[in-house]
Amino acid sequence: MGSTGMIFKYLAKSRKEFILSLVYQSMSIVFALFVPIFTGRMVGGLDPNNAVPLTGWDLLFYFSMIILFGFLSFYTNRTGRLQGAVVASAAAYYLRININNAIFRQSFSYFDKTETGQLIARATSDVEETQGIFGMGFNLGLQGSIQMVGVVSASIFLNLQLSLIFMIVIPTSLIASFILTKKMKPIYYETRESFGELTNTIRENIIGAQVVRMFSNQDKERQKFYDNNKRFYNASVRTAKFDSLIMPLNYVIIGFTMVSVLFIGGNLVIQGAMELEILVTFQGYLGILMFPLVMWGQIMMMYIQADAALSRIREVIESTPDVKDIKGAIPITSMKGDVKFENVSFGYTSDHRVLKDITFEVPAGKKLAILGTTGSGKSTIINLLPRFYEINEGTIKIDDISIKKFLLKDLRQNIGIVSQETFLFNKSIGKNIAFGVENATQEEIESAAKIANLHDFIASLPEGYETIVGERGTRLSGGQKQRLSIARAIIVKPKILIFDDSTSSVDVETEFKIQNALERIMKGTTTLIITQRISTIRNADSILVLDKGRVVGKGTHDQLIDSNVLYKQIYETLFQKQKFGTEKKETVEGGI
């Protein structure tokens, strides 16, 4: 669907108001067309050579008719514009809903390829850019079109010769405006793209403010902002240059039309071929015509602006997610949690496989620890289980059913994930914990916090569970954020629980308490853990060792320590690292 189709699609969301606006504005133009007629009769009647001279009562009648039809035109025009404003506001309202829904619908791979700043710009400033065509553009376009049709029709009825001037001038003006606005289309698109880049730069500099300062890269980031800002400025100036031509050009055309009507009509009056009142009426019609001729150039500008914005919005709305429910997807009424990967291969790009022929099984209620070298595909495995990405080959099953056959919503509601990079909303601690559970009770929230060893800390805060965590949880430490993330995952009582190195920011003692609480509360839950903690690895029911996207070892700690060289190397490295950390801590605490 093109931009024009989108505009009418969203305008039609308020069909009743659209029809009412059309009716009222049509009535407004009909009433307005009577004003020049009575004005012409007033002026024409003042001609001393008029066969029937006007009386004072005639002038009063014509004057009253001008006031009456002027008022009726004003009232119906205002009412029509109000209905048009409702249509325009509703169009923007539904457009925002659809782009927001489209963003939520997208798979993880979409966000890997699309800059966040560009998405923000499309969902905000690009939608605002369409307001012109939905609002004033719709009202003025509708009114102007009706005015043109009404003026031309009335002028043909009055005098065919003078009406030919209108029939030549109107298309000339529209064609000139169309040619100019067409040249502006790529410039407007560049303006929207450059604004998106500018938004992305500002977002990165705000989010990465600490990193920029740590590496003293302020000058480099300032230059980056300057370059993007300059690009947006240049595009805006080029737009203004073309924009400045349209209205003056139309004024020239209107001036030429006015002089032509006076010259041709004046000669006809002098020759006696036309009455003076008709010439005056034509001048009145020209006054009515001036508005749409000038505004249609602006409306075309609004359309080009909206077209550039809608093209970018359409890229989001019409994007098909890589991962979606298949036809006939089934709901999950109950889940045991038996997990199987069968010959699974996956790559974020078509030419590079991150995982190659991965096969393993985690029986329901058991715990699997995943180890491997950097970039071996550990985090990728846990991203595939909830179908954040679609696998290229093989099958992933839960309870011997392919995960593709489940409704995505049900699948993900049964899988709790605690990632290494914790994202928190700028809400209260309680609302962050209860994010995945609708109408969670305070008792459930506190129970989850106790399991995550966070309740005592929260209770010590003046506002307790109502404490606002700040944007991205900036008011909490790394360990507190991770424990809150654990509470958020376990409150949903998932049948499968995934930990992606999620206790790396907590001390050994806290992790021990968390693990003990989880052991008691989450019995029967299948658990996949990416971890660097020796205790967690040894306590796992089985261990999966990855290297360069392949499984190079499976078994228990005792089985792998003697039979798998890579596992032994990783284990000994972690053991020495944690032993050194423990000794260092004891030395500091002992004051030596």
Residue with tokens 């995945």: 436
Bridge partners for 239 per DSSP: none
Which pTM does this prediction carry?
0.68
Measured in residues, the chain has a length of 592
User: Cα angle vertex 392, ends 389, 398, to 5°?
Assistant: 65
* Helix segments in 124-272, DSSP class H: 125-132, 138-158, 160-207, 209-214, 218-270
Contact by Cβ (8 Å): 84, 22: no
Total Cβ atoms within 10 A of residue 379: 18
Q: Digits of tens for pLDDT over the chain (592 positions)? A: 677 788 878 888 888 888 888 888 778 878 887 888 787 777 766 666 665 666 778 788 888 888 998 899 889 888 888 887 888 888 888 888 888 888 888 888 888 787 777 787 888 778 877 877 776 677 677 777 777 777 788 778 777 877 788 788 778 777 877 777 777 777 777 887 787 788 878 777 776 766 666 666 778 778 888 888 888 888 888 777 766 776 677 777 777 777 887 888 888 878 877 777 787 887 787 777 777 777 777 777 777 777 878 888 888 888 888 888 888 899 988 889 899 999 999 988 777 888 999 999 999 989 898 988 888 888 889 889 999 889 999 999 999 999 999 999 899 888 888 877 778 888 888 998 888 888 888 998 998 888 888 888 899 988 899 988 887 777 888 778 888 888 888 888 888 988 887 555 566 666 666 666 666 666 778 989 887 777 778 888 899 999 888 999 898 888 888 888 888 888 888 777 666 555 444 443 443 3
Could you please state the CATH topology (level 3) that the domain comprising 3-317 is classified under.
ABC transporter transmembrane region fold (1.20.1560)
Q: Sketch the domain layout of the chain as residue ranges.
A: 3-317, 330-414+529-592
CATH class of the domain whose range is 330-414+529-592: alpha beta
**DSSP summary character for residue 437:** S
What confidence tens digit (pLDDT) does each residue in 103-145 have?
888 888 888 787 777 787 888 778 877 877 776 677 677 777 7
Contact by Cβ (8 Å): 110, 320: no
What residue type is 22 in one-letter code?
A: L
Token pair for 21: 């606006």
What confidence tens digit (pLDDT) does each residue in 281-315 have?
877 877 777 777 777 777 777 777 778 788 888 88
What confidence tens digit (pLDDT) does each residue in 142-180 have?
777 777 777 788 778 777 877 788 788 778 777 877 777
